[in-house]
C-alpha cells in the first residue's frame, strides 16, 4: 500500500517548496502536485507543516560498558525515543575496550541491536588498540559495510589509543577510504590533573572541568589534525566544545587537512555552572569534554551557522541517578555522559532556528544531510528525493511544550534539558514509509530498524 503526504512544505539544504510526496516500497517514488491516489493509499495531511528528511544523529552510545557500569538504554528504548524526537537513523559508537578485540566487539554490538531498533542505524567502529590482529579484523568490518572508525585520545588504559596506534589506524583508514572520528583530549594530562585535584581534596563534580581544561582538548584536536595531515586520512572531531579546540580544527581545515567537526547538544545549550551544582545535581552534568564556560557558545553557534562546524550530534549517553552516585566520593568515578537523543531536533529548531542562529536549510543540513554525506548514507538518507528512503519528519512548528525527565522515553530518570521550552515537534515520523510516530507517541513497529551497510566514502590520499 502506498503512502501520500500532501499539503506540507518540503525543506532540504538547498530547496523549500510545497509538494506532495508519494511513497511505495519504502522509498519516495514521486514528488509533485496533483498526484494520483491509487486505491488503498494511506494519506497524511501535512498542511501548515514542514516536511524534513529524517534526522540523523551521528554520535550516540546505547550499549556501552563504561566506568564500571553500562549506559542505561537498550536499542528499543533509545530508538523509540529517537523517533519520537524526529531522528530516524543513528550512528552508534561500537566501543570494545582495550582488553577486547575489535571483531568480537563488532559482533557483540550487532547482536545487541539486531531486531531491537525501531529506526535504522549504523556503527562507528572504535579502534581501542592496534595489535597484530587488528588490521585483518578492521578490513573484515569495513567489508561488512561499517565504513567509519572511532578513536579516543582520552580514557587512558580503557578506550584510549597512543600516538603509534593512532598513526596505524589513520594509515589503514586512508587506504580503505574510511573516515576516522576522534575524541580529542590529551589522556596523560587529564590523568595527571585528576590525580593532582584529588590529592588536594577536590572531589566534587565541579572539579571535572578543571581536570580537562580547554587547552587539553585543543592539544588533542591539534594533534589529531597533525596526524591526519601526515597520513592523508579524513577525520571527524566529535563533540568539539570550546574556542581553542575550534581554532585548532579550523586552522587544520585552512591548511587543507581533511577534517570535519561535530558539536553536540550539551555544549551548545548547557554550560559548566550546571556541573557546579552541589552533589547529584552536578554529577548529572558530567560528560567529556566537559560543559564549558558560556563564552564558548557564541563561537560554536557562529561556526555552526557558517558551516565550519559541520554536524550536530548528541553524544547521547544516559546514566541514571544511582549510577551517577558511583562518583559521590570522587569526580573521576562519575560515569561520563548526558542523554539527548530525544530532544535534539526540537531543541535545535527552538534555540537554533527560532533564535536566529541558523536558517531552516542549515538546520536540515547540520542535523541530517551533512551527517549522511560524511558517513556514506547519502542520498539514501539525508534528503527528500525520488529514490531516497522514505524517512520523513512532518514537523509541527506550532507545538509548545517543556522538556521533562518524567515524560521522556529514554531509559533514564532525569533529563539534562529539564525545563527547557520547545517550540515545535515532529507530528508524524516515517521510517522507510511506515508511520512510526504520531504526535509524541510511538505507534509503529518495534524492530523495524535495519543496520545500514555503507560503502567507503573518502578517496585515498594517494590518488
Question: Which listed residue (165, 315, 320, 343) binds ligand URP by CB under 6 A?
Answer: 315
Q: Which of residues 250-289 bind ligand URP (CB under 6 A)?
A: 287-288
Work out how close the CB of 340 gets to ligand URP at its nearest, in angstroms, rounded to a whole number.
11
Instruction: Report d(CA 276, CA 269) in Å as an integer.
Output: 16
21 vs 238, beta carbon nearer Zn ion? 238
Binding mask 170-199 for Zn ion (x = CB under 5 A): -------------x----------------
Binding partner of 309, given Zn ion, ligand URP, none, CB within 5-8 angstroms per partner class: none
CA separation, residue 360 to residues 230, 264, 353 (Å): 37, 18, 6
Instruction: Report d(CA 171, CA 222) in Å as an integer.
Output: 18
Instruction: Report d(CA 303, CA 309) in Å as an integer.
Output: 5
Beta strands in 9-115 (DSSP E): 9-12, 15-18, 20-24, 27-32, 42-45, 50-53, 55-60, 65-66, 69-70, 87-94
CA end-to-end span of the chain = 46
Bond into 357 cis (ω within 30): no
Work out how close the CB of 317 gets to ligand URP at its nearest, in angstroms, rounded to a whole number.
4
Phi-psi region of 100 (alpha: psi -120 to 50; beta: other; left: phi over 0): beta
154 vs 368, beta carbon nearer ligand URP? 154
Residue 409 within binding range of Zn ion, rule CB under 5 A = no
Instruction: Report the chain's C-alpha Rg in angstroms.
Output: 21
Query: Which phi and psi angles does 59 have, rounded to 5°?
Result: -155, 95
Helix ranges (H only) for 52-206 are 75-84, 102-113, 134-143, 163-176, 187-199
If you ran DSSP here, which 8-state letter would residue 381 be given? S
Residue 208 within binding range of Zn ion, rule CB under 5 A = no
Question: Which listed residue (49, 98, 124, 183) binds ligand URP by CB under 6 A?
Answer: 183
Instruction: Report d(CA 382, CA 372) in Å as an integer.
Output: 5
Binding partner of 314, given Zn ion, ligand URP, none, CB within 5-8 angstroms per partner class: none
Asked whether the beta carbons of 69 and 61 are under 8 A apart, the reply is no
Work out how close the CB of 159 gets to ligand URP at its nearest, in angstroms, rounded to a whole number.
8
**Count of residues engaged in binding Zn ion, rule: CB under 5 A:** 2
Question: Which listed residue (181, 263, 317, 377) binds ligand URP by CB under 6 A?
Answer: 317
Per DSSP, the three-state class of 367 is: helix
Asked whether the beta carbons of 170 and 181 are under 8 A apart, the reply is no
Q: Which of residues 40-79 bind ligand URP (CB under 6 A)?
A: 61
Residue 179 within binding range of ligand URP, rule CB under 6 A = no
Work out how close the CB of 290 gets to ligand URP at its nearest, in angstroms, rounded to a whole number.
8
315 vs 389, beta carbon nearer Zn ion? 315
Binding mask 286-305 for ligand URP (x = CB under 6 A): -xx-----------------
Residue 120 within binding range of ligand URP, rule CB under 6 A = no
Using CB positions, name the residue nearest to Zn ion. 183
What residues does 402 pair with on adjacent strands?
421
Question: Which listed residue (92, 271, 315, 365) binds Zn ion by CB under 5 A?
Answer: 315
Instruction: Report d(CA 402, CA 306) in Å as an integer.
Output: 29
Q: Which residue has the cell 530516524?
A: 88
If you ran DSSP here, which 8-state letter would residue 389 be given? B
73 vs 389, beta carbon nearer Zn ion? 73
182 vs 429, beta carbon nearer Zn ion? 182
* Candidate ranges 21-29, 128-136, 315-323, 341-349; the one touching Zn ion (CB under 5 A): 315-323
Work out how close the CB of 25 gets to Zn ion at its nearest, in angstroms, rounded to a whole number.
35
Work out how close the CB of 365 gets to ligand URP at its nearest, in angstroms, rounded to a whole number.
23
Residue 186 within binding range of ligand URP, rule CB under 6 A = no
Element containing residue 149 per DSSP (H, E)? strand 148-152
Work out how close the CB of 28 gets to Zn ion at its nearest, in angstroms, rounded to a whole number.
32
Binding partner of 324, given Zn ion, ligand URP, none, CB within 5-8 angstroms per partner class: none
Contacts of 199 (CB under 8 A, 6+ apart): none
Work out how close the CB of 238 gets to Zn ion at its nearest, in angstroms, rounded to a whole number.
6
Contacts to ligand URP by CB under 6 A: 61, 183, 287-288, 315, 317, 336-337
Contacts to Zn ion by CB under 5 A: 183, 315
Amino acid at each position: 500500500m502506498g503512502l501520500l503526504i500532501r499539503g506540507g512544505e518540503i525543506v532540504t539544504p538547498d530547496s523549500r517548496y510545497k509538494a506532495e510526496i508519494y511513497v511505495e516500497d519504502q522509498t519516495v517514488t514521486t514528488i509533485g502536485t496533483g498526484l494520483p491516489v491509487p486505491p488503498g493509499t494511506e494519506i497524511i495531511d501535512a498542511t501548515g507543516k514542514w516536511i524534513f528528511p529524517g534526522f540523523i544523529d551521528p554520535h550516540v552510545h546505547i550499549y556501552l560498558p563504561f566506568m564500571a557500569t553500562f549506559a542505561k538504554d537498550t536499542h528499543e528504548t533509545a530508538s523509540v525515543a529517537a523517533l519520537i524526537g524526529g531522528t530516524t537513523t543513528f550512528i552508534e559508537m561500537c566501543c570494545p575496550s582495550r582488553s577486547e578485540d575489535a571483531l568480537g566487539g563488532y559482533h557483540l554490538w550487532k547482536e545487541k541491536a539486531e531486531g531491537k531498533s525501531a529506526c535504522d542505524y549504523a556503527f562507528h567502529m572504535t579502534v581501542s588498540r592496534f595489535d597484530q590482529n587488528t588490521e585483518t579484523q578492521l578490513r573484515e568490518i569495513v567489508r561488512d559495510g561499517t565504513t567509519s572508525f572511532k578513536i579516543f585520545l582520552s580514557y587512558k588504559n580503557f578506550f584510549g589509543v597512543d600516538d603509534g596506534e593512532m598513526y596505524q589506524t589513520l594509515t589503514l583508514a586512508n587506504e580503505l577510504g574510511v573516515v576516522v572520528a576522534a575524541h580529542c583530549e590529551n589522556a596523560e594530562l587529564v590523568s595527571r590533573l585528576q590525580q593532582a585535584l584529588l590529592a588536594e581534596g577536590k572531589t566534587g563534580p565541579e572539579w571535572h572541568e578543571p581536570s580537562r581544561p580547554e587547552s587539553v582538548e585543543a592539544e588533542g584536536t591539534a594533534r589529531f589534525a597533525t596526524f591526519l595531515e601526515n597520513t592523508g586520512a579524513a577525520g571527524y572531531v566529535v563533540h568539539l566544545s570550546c574556542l581553542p579546540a575550534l581554532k585548532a580544527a579550523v586552522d587544520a581545515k585552512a591548511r587543507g587537512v581533511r577534517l570535519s567537526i561535530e558539536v553536540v547538544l550539551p555544549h551548545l545549550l548547557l554550560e559548566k555552572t550546571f556541573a557546579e551544582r552541589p552533589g547529584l545535581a552536578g554529577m548529572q552534568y558530567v560528560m567529556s569534554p566537559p560543559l564549558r564556560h558560556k563564552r564558548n557558545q557564541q563561537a560554536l553557534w557562529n561556526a555552526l551557522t557558517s558551516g565550519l562546524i559541520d554536524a550536530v550530534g548528541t553524544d547521547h549517553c544516559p546514566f541514571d541517578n544511582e549510577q551517577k552516585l558511583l562518583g559521590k566520593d570522587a569526580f573521576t568515578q562519575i560515569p561520563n555522559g548526558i542523554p539527548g537523543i530525544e530532544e535534539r531536533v526540537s531543541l535545535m529548531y527552538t534555540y537554533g532556528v527560532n533564535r536566529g542562529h541558523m536558517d531552516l536549510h542549515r538546520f536540515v543540513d547540520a542535523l541530517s544531510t551533512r551527517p549522511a554525506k560524511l558517513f556514506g548514507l547519502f542520498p539514501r538518507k539525508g534528503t527528500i528525493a525520488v529514490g531516497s528512503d522514505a524517512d520523513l519528519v512532518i514537523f509541527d512548528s506550532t507545538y509548545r511544550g517543556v522538556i521533562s525527565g518524567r515524560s521522556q522515553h529514554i531509559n533514564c530518570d532525569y533529563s539534562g534539558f529539564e525545563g527547557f521550552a520547545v517550540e515545535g515537534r515532529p507530528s508524524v515520523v516515517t521510517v522507510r514509509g511506515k508511520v512510526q510516530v504520531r504526535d509524541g507517541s510511538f505507534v509503529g513497529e518495534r524492530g523495524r530498524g535495519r543496520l545500514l551497510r555503507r560503502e567507503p566514502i573518502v578517496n585515498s590520499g594517494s590518488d
